[in-house]
Structure 1
C-alpha cells in the first residue's frame, strides 16, 4: 500500500464515465479520487464507463494514476466479473486499487486480489449487516488497505431510521474502527455527508469521526475536501502540545513527567508521536 493511500484524509467520488469530472477531481486537493462504476452509472452505461475510465487513465501521469481508485459493482450483480477484468488492466496501468461495495465475504476479496494482482489495494465498503458480521475476516484479508463505512446503505439493510446525529450508528462505527485496529490497518474511512452545501454539518460529521478513531472521509463534492483536511490534520495547538510532550519525555529519559499540569507517560507519548507524523505528512501534501 502506498504512503498516500495509508494517510489519505479525503476520498472524492466521481462518475467514471464523465471524464471531465475525473480530470477536475484530480486537479482538486482530494487525496484520493474514486471513479465510480456503481451507483453513479446507469445499467445501460456500465460497459461504456469501464472503457471510458481505461482510456482516461492512460492519458494521466503516473502521479495522478496513483491517486485513483475505482469502485466496482458488487459481487451479487451481473457487472462484477466484467469490472474485475478491466480493473486488472487499470492496476497494471498504475491506479492504486479498488473500493469493493457490499463487502460481505472474504472469498470475493480473494478473487479480486487474485485477478487484479498484488499491486491492487482493496478497500472493503462495509454497508450491510452481513458485512458487519464478517468484519474480522474482511479486515484480515490480503491486500486490504483500509475499511470504509457505507452508512446510508447500512441503514436501509438494517431497517434503521436514524436521527440527524446518527447516534444509533455509534456502535457500528466503533466496531469498524476496532476491526481496523485489530488488523493493524490504516484508520478507517467514514461515510459520506449528503448535505453538500452545509459545511457546518460536514465539520460536525468529520469531528465525530475523528473522535471515534476514523482517519478519513468519503466525499461527494469538492467543497467537502477542505473541511475533511482541516479536521483530519492536527491543529497548531495539537502539534505544539505533541512537541512539548516529546521534548518533556526526552528530558525525563522515558520516565513519567508532567506537561501543562497533566501526567505524561508512554501512551501519551505514542499519541504525540502519531500527531507529529500526521502533521509532517499533511504539510508535505500540495
Structure 2
C-alpha cells in the first residue's frame, strides 16, 4: 500500500530512531536538514550510518533520509556520504529541477528512488518536469518553507494553488498523490482538519513531526467503513451486471467513472476489503 504518513526524526538523535519505527508511521524520515544544526551535520550522518549498518532489512525499508538541498554548503558532503549507505529512498530538500534528482540518484544504489520536497516557487513551477524525472517516487510539499519563499501566511490561497499544482504534476507523471506538508500544531483535531483539506486538494499522504499526529493524519486518507461498504456495493453490482452502461445502486445511477472510483477506494482500504 502507498505510504500515508511520514514521520520526521532528527538525524542527530539516534535514541529516537527505534521509537519512531515503533510508531504507526508508514515511513520514517531521518533528517539531515532543518532538524540538525550546522555543527551537528557530520555527527548526524555518522549516527544514521551506524544505525543503517546494523538495522534489519525490514526496518531499513521503512526509512528515508532527508538530505540538504543542492545549493546548501552541506549538499556535497551528503552526496559523498550517500554512496556508502544502503538506502532505497532519499528525500531531497528544496528540489527545483530534474537535474538535481539525477545527481542524487547517481550517488544511490541501483533501483533507489528520490522523493523531491517542493518548497520553493521555482520548485512548484518546475513540478511537472521534476515529477517526470526518472527515479522519482512521488512529490512532497514543503508548505512552511514555501510560505517563506512566497511571503504569504498560513491561510493564503496560494498554498492551495501550489498543492493543486503538485497534484496535477503527479497525475501527469502517473505518480502516487503527493505528500502534504507538516502541521506545526500537535492537536490531533488540527492535524485531521489539515489532512482533510489536503485530501480535498488531491493529496494522498502527510508529513508528520510527532508520533501523536500519525493516527489523525492517516484517518483522513483512509476511507471510513461506510464509504468502503458503499464501494463494495457499487463494485459488486457493476461486476455482476453484464455489459453495463450504468447500474442502479441505492436508488442512484452509477456509471463507469463512479465504478472506477469505488475500485480505487477499495484499493486504498485493504483493512476493510
- What SS class does the counterpart of residue 174 from structure 2 fall into? coil
Deviation at 1:259, TM superposition (A): 1.2
Structure 1 residue 273: Cα displacement: 0.8
The answer (yes or no) to whether the contact 2:120–2:149 under 8 Å persists in 1 is yes
Q: C-alpha separation between the residues in 2 aligned to 1:125 and 1:45?
A: 22
Q: Return the alpha-carbon distance in structure 1 between the equivalents of residues 248 and 200 of structure 2.
A: 24
SS of the residue corresponding to residue 279 of structure 1 reads coil
Say yes or no: does 1:227 pair with 2:219.
no
Q: What is the distance in 1 between the residues matched to 2:36 and 2:272?
A: 35
Aligned to 1:84: 79
Cα contact 2:69–2:93 (8 A) shared by 1: yes
Write the distance in 1 (CA, Å) between the matches of 2:6 and 2:88: 12
Aligned to 2:264: 274
Equivalent residues, number:
272
1:219-255 Cα offsets, whole Å, 9 max, x none, are 0000011112212112101110000000110122241
Tell me whether 175-184 or 251-260 shows the greater mean CA deviation: 251-260
Instruction: Output the TM-score relative to the length of structure 2.
Output: 0.96
Question: How far, CA to CA, are the matches of 1:157 and 1:254 in structure 2?
Answer: 53
Counterparts of 2:16 and 2:131, CA distance in 1: 31
Given that 1:190 and 1:217 are in contact with CA atoms closer than 8 Å, whether structure 2 keeps it comes out as yes
Is residue 147 from structure 1 mapped to residue 136 from structure 2 by the alignment?
no
Query: Which structure has the highest helix share of the two?
Result: 1
Q: Secondary structure at the match of 1:264?
A: strand
**Paired residue for 1:103, among 92, 95, 107?**
95
Q: What are the superposed Cα offsets for residues 89-140 of structure 1, whole Å, 9 maximum, x if unpaired?
A: 22xx2x3311111101111111111221332211111110110111111000
| Residues 67 and 96, structure 1, Cα contact 8 Å, conserved in 2 | no
Q: How does 1:113-262 map to 2 (within 5 A)?
A: 113-163=105-155, 166-196=156-186, 198-255=187-244, 256-262=246-252
Distance 2:204 2:67 in 1: 23
